[in-house]
Amino acid sequence: MLRIALALLIATPALAATPHSGIAGTRSMPELSDLALFACAAFGVWFVRSRLRARFRRDTPKD
């Protein structure tokens, strides 16, 4: 599993190298990558908060 993850990390920059025309375009709306990044960040915050709530919700043994 670690070998596969390492291979993907090494190959990713080669896949992302697309030629650029040098002319900047106009932005009329957020890119798909912006929306995906926001969704991943929102899920991460929700997941961590739910785990912390579950951790502190457990009953502590009373003496």
Give the pLDDT confidence score for residue 37 in this predicted structure.
93
Give the pLDDT confidence score for residue 21 in this predicted structure.
73
**CA-CA distance, 25 to 34, in Å (whole number)?**
16
Six-digit token pair at 23?
């002319």
Give the pLDDT confidence score for residue 61 in this predicted structure.
64
* pLDDT digits (tens), the chain, 63 positions: 778 777 766 766 655 666 677 787 788 888 888 999 999 999 999 999 999 998 888 766 665
**CA-CA distance, 47 to 41, in Å (whole number)?**
10
Give the pLDDT confidence score for residue 17 in this predicted structure.
60
**CA-CA distance, 46 to 55, in Å (whole number)?**
14
Give the pLDDT confidence score for residue 11 in this predicted structure.
65
